[in-house]
Amino acid sequence: MNFPSKLIEDAVNEMSRLPGIGKKTALRLVLHLLKQKESVTEELSHALLALRKEIKYCQKCHNISDTDVCSICRGVRRDRSIICVVEDIPDVLAIENTSQYQGLYHVLGGVISPIQGIGPDELKIESLMERIRLAETEDKVEEVILALPATMEGDTTSFYITRKLKALNIKVSTIARGIPIGGELEYTDEVTLGRSILTRVNYSAD
């Protein structure tokens, strides 16, 4: 693509480095900004810069945070006896948006993947153990929920963490897998459907 202006070429090139944004989309976004007030571009740029420069990661759960310890870990209404282990930050947001969980989180920052060269030491697994051990004194952790992806890497990580937790005598659970609510049986993939039959649960009509 040839651009009539170096300024627009630079902006399009930078914009198209974002995932899922090609040159044409980047051009559309950049031309949109040109049509808006200058303040729109300023606010966008400043918000991104402020985020990148000032963001912190919670010292306890490694979630993103404005402070050293995140609002969830500091939350007075949070159940400190449960920790939900997730792969990355968007998973925390997704679970939070369900409003069904009141415990704490632990963000691993990935899952074990020998192919990508990610071993347990690259993840915040030791930090999880440390956190559980330290909590022995006051807020004792009683349950760890594994909410990792249903992939080979996710399962490996779940298995690894479960083995490590065994010594600490803590209940370990994993989120339920099965047919999504509202999902149609005939359009569900066979692995999920097969597993949902094998892991069927008791039904009560009460």
* Site residues, its own copies (CB under 8 A): 1-8, 10-11, 13-15, 17-21, 25, 27-34, 38, 40-55, 63-66, 70-72, 88-90, 92-93, 96-97
Q: Which is nearer to its own copies, 49 or 191 (CB)?
A: 49
- Least distance to its own copies from the beta carbon of 153, Å? 18
- Least distance to its own copies from the beta carbon of 99, Å? 9
- For residue 23, give the H/E element and its range: helix 23-35
Cα 194 from chain centre: 27
Q: Which is nearer to its own copies, 54 or 186 (CB)?
A: 54
| CA distances, 72 to each of 10, 58, 128, 136 (Å) | 39, 9, 16, 20
Tokens found for residue 198: 């094998």
Helix/strand/coil percent split, the chain, to 5: 45, 15, 40
- Least distance to its own copies from the beta carbon of 20, Å? 7
- Least distance to its own copies from the beta carbon of 87, Å? 12
Q: Which is nearer to its own copies, 1 or 175 (CB)?
A: 1
Q: Which is nearer to its own copies, 62 or 131 (CB)?
A: 62
Positions of E strands within the chain:
56-57, 64-65, 79-86, 103-107, 143-147, 171-174
